[in-house]
């Protein structure tokens, strides 16, 4: 899933960790232990496909099965486990629903706590200092940087994740998807929509 965003303060390269990773990568490459294409593929797999695909399946199920949706919003941990996705370290999962009235966005202001069970690895920008600081103070501004306009009538709610509690957004099901089955719906759901920085686009 290409985000298509230009680089800006939030999406800029990550600090020290990124440098350390780069250094390690260069070393492994130099020693001929790995190929750069293989690394890129792995990162892309965990960041954009393998991880978020679990969450996308949870969302599509909630969109098509009202009882499941009720369970998911009441007890995210159990409903997600029902689909076979377990927290890595026993973190609790809380799912918050986007509606016409409320838009939810997830952050970890302290570090980078992320719902691994459903979304895989956090994107670099999620861990960046500007995202962490500004999502708390100016969520609408951050949303705008992701190209997401939220109407003034819609309340924006920020959820601060931590080691024990991991939030995930249940995005709004877009119009024009009435005929799609669960698998086709899951394919529309992006990682960013489950963090709450974007909406799920209607299919073209
Ligand atoms: Fe954290």
Tens digit of each residue's pLDDT (9 = 90 or more) over 90-102: 789 999 999 999 9
Q: Give me ligand 1 centre to Cα 127, in Å.
A: 8
In angstroms, the CA 204 to CA 195 distance is: 23
Q: Which of 15, 26, 111, 137 is catalytic?
A: 111
What pLDDT is stored for residue 3 in this prediction? Answer: 43
CA of 113 to the centre of ligand 1 (A): 3
Using pLDDT thresholds of 50, 70 and 90, give the confidence band for residue 15: low
Q: Of the listed 3, 7, 26, 108, which one is catalytic? A: 108
Give pLDDT, residue 48.
Answer: 64
Confidence of residue 104 (pLDDT cuts 50, 70, 90): very high
- Stated as kind and residue range, the H or E segment containing 126 is helix 124-127
The per-residue pLDDT for 180 is 96
Distance 162 CA to ligand 1 centre (A): 5
Q: Where are the domains of the chain?
A: 17-195
Catalytic residue status for 112: yes
DSSP strand E in the chain: where?
92-97, 102-107, 155-160, 165-170
50-63: burial string, b at 16+ Cβ within 10 Å, e else: ebbbbbbbbbbbbb
Q: Report the Cα–Cα distance between both ends of the chain, in Å, rounded.
A: 16
Question: If you measure from the C-alpha of residue 63 to the centroid of ligand 1, how many angstroms do you get, rounded to a whole number?
Answer: 29
Q: Is 108 a catalytic residue?
A: yes
Query: What is the band of 9 on the pLDDT scale with cuts at 50, 70, 90?
Result: low
| Distance between Cα 161 and ligand 1 center (Å) | 6
What pLDDT sits at residue 5?
42
**Tens-digit pLDDT profile for residues 134-187:** 999 999 999 999 999 999 999 999 999 988 899 999 999 999 999 999 999 999
Pairing of strands 92-97, 165-170: parallel
Q: Does domain 17-195 sit in CATH 3.90.330.10?
A: yes
Residue 169, φ and ψ in degrees, nearest 5: -95, 135
* Beta strand extents in 64-187 (DSSP E only): 92-97, 102-107, 155-160, 165-170
Mean pLDDT throughout 4-14?
48
**Tens digits of per-residue pLDDT, 43-85?**
776 666 667 999 999 999 999 999 999 999 999 999 999 998 8
């Amino acid at each position: 899933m290409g985000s298509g965003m230009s680089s800006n303060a939030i999406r800029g390269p990550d600090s020290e960790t990124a440098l350390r990773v780069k250094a390690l990568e260069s070393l492994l490459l130099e020693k001929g232990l790995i190929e750069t294409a293989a690394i890129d593929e792995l990162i892309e797999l965990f960041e954009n496909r393998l991880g978020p695909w679990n969450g996308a399946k949870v969302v599509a199920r909630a969109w098509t099965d009202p009882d499941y949706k009720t369970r998911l919003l009441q007890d995210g941990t159990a409903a997600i486990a029902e689909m076979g996705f377990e927290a890595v370290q026993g973190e609790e999962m809380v799912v918050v629903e986007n509606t016409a009235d409320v838009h939810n966005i997830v952050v970890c202001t302290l570090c980078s706590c992320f719902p691994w069970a459903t979304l895989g690895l956090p994107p670099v920008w999620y861990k960046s200092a500007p995202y962490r600081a500004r999502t708390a103070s100016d969520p609408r501004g951050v949303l705008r940087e992701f190209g997401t306009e939220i109407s003034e009538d819609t309340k924006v709610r920020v959820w601060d994740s931590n080691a024990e509690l991991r939030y995930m957004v249940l995005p709004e099901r877009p119009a024009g998807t009435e005929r799609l089955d669960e698998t086709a719906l899951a394919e529309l759901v992006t990682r960013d929509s489950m963090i709450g920085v974007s909406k799920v686009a209607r299919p073209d």
